[in-house]
């Protein structure tokens, strides 16, 4: 007979009796060891075929060749007709292809949108997070002024090495309700 309603909560079962993890917040559980966790994850991905293959399989199956826009406006709600919707969809999809297939969508001008998507997804799998900043850069003179900047998540950190507190955790400043109000990003990799 079990000493608890759930076997997993037992304090007397031989295999569980010494397993007494603390009950802390996600930030308290993760942030102090985040650098070690991320470093080990990166090492596994670089140096172990099974880990590398698992990541690549997920990237291939989730991202594939990239996202494709299929524009279907609710033309009735907009007070328009089907012909208008078809023309609008064609124009928007054409503009999207022009943006997403060009390396001009990347602030660094090194990847197209599919490449950026792969990097973001891969970073999320390996590092646990990824940072994407939309920028408006009209001075570049491209066909589109909106560009995407990827930022290494290691650069997200408390300013001046300040410790985490009630309103600042892991480089994210939050209000009293937990909503983010600022992200503190270092100018270079630590």
- What confidence score (pLDDT) does residue 118 get? 98
- HSE of 58 in the Cβ direction (CA atoms, 13 Å)? 15
Are 44 and 95 contacting, i.e. CB atoms less than 8 angstroms apart? no
Confidence of residue 5 (pLDDT cuts 50, 70, 90): confident
DSSP H/E element including 131: strand 131-136
The single-letter DSSP state of residue 11 is S
**In this model, does residue 1 exceed pLDDT 70?**
no
Average pLDDT, the chain: 94
Give pLDDT tens digits for 124-135: 999 999 999 999
The single-letter DSSP state of residue 159 is G
The pTM assigned to this predicted structure is 0.84
């Amino acid at each position: 007979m079990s000493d608890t309603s759930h076997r997993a909560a037992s304090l007397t079962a031989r295999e569980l009796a010494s397993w007494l993890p603390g009950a802390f917040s996600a930030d308290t559980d993760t942030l102090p060891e985040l650098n070690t966790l991320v470093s080990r994850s990166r090492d596994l991905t670089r140096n172990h075929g099974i880990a590398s293959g698992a990541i690549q399989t997920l990237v291939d199956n989730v991202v594939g060749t990239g996202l494709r826009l299929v524009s279907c406006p609710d033309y009735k709600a907009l007070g328009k007709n089907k012909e208008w919707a078809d023309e609008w969809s064609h124009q928007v999809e054409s503009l999207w292809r022009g943006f997403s297939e060009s390396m001009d969508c990347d602030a660094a001008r090194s990847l197209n949108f599919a490449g950026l998507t792969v990097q973001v997804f891969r970073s999320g799998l390996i590092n646990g997070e990824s940072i994407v900043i939309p920028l408006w850069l009209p001075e570049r003179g491209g066909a589109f002024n909106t560009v995407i900047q990827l930022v290494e998540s290691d650069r997200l950190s408390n300013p001046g090495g300040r410790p985490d507190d009630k309103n600042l955790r892991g480089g994210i400043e939050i209000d009293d309700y937990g909503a983010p109000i600022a992200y503190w990003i270092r100018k270079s990799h630590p």
